[in-house]
Structure 1
Amino acid sequence: MSIQATLAQQSYLLNRTAAAPGPGSPPRADNAIGQAAGGFASALAEAEGTARAAMTGGADPQALVEALAASELAVETAVTIRNKVVEAYQEILRMPV
């Protein structure tokens, strides 16, 4: 399985989950942020576990590269979200009172 296919599958699953509203309740921003933070933490933990296994010979190099690519994608996503939050905060500060 190629890295591109794995990343595309992960992106699809994350977007599908985020786009599907829960039955009977409107989506809330704090739930989305909590889920994103949980996904970020689990992606990094999985990559760390795979890296440890690769160092001890328990995982093949292909799995290590895939895990590192997934963790890189998670970090880039977190940085993008942070940048958007800072940008929105700056826009709020520029609003006239």
Structure 2
Amino acid sequence: MSKVITKDNEQILQIYNRLKETLMRLESILKDNTPTLNGHRYMNDSELANYLKVSRRTLQEYRNNGILPYYQIGGKILYRESDIEELLEKNRQEAFQ
């Protein structure tokens, strides 16, 4: 006698839950993914402020004081990720031993 598989079957529920978890992971990856332009990634004010744990106003001060390189297209400010990484590396301080 053959067995009818329904949506309440334990194996079907496990498969459904695994697919749901996979979809959530993919959505998270896509949300955090920044597309590249000529091999460079760019961040906006909000993304960089969150990354550096500073306010957007602080970023504006850094721009005004020539500390932070940026691109301005119309009213939109963009920061090249590699420029930020280079700036952070240049300003890195060794810990005291």
TM-score (norm. length: structure 1): 0.30
Higher helix share: 1
Greater share of residues in strand: 2
Computing the radius of gyration over CA atoms, which structure comes out larger, 1 or 2? Answer: 2
Indicate the structure whose relative CO is greater, using CA pairs within 8 Å and at least 6 residues apart.
1
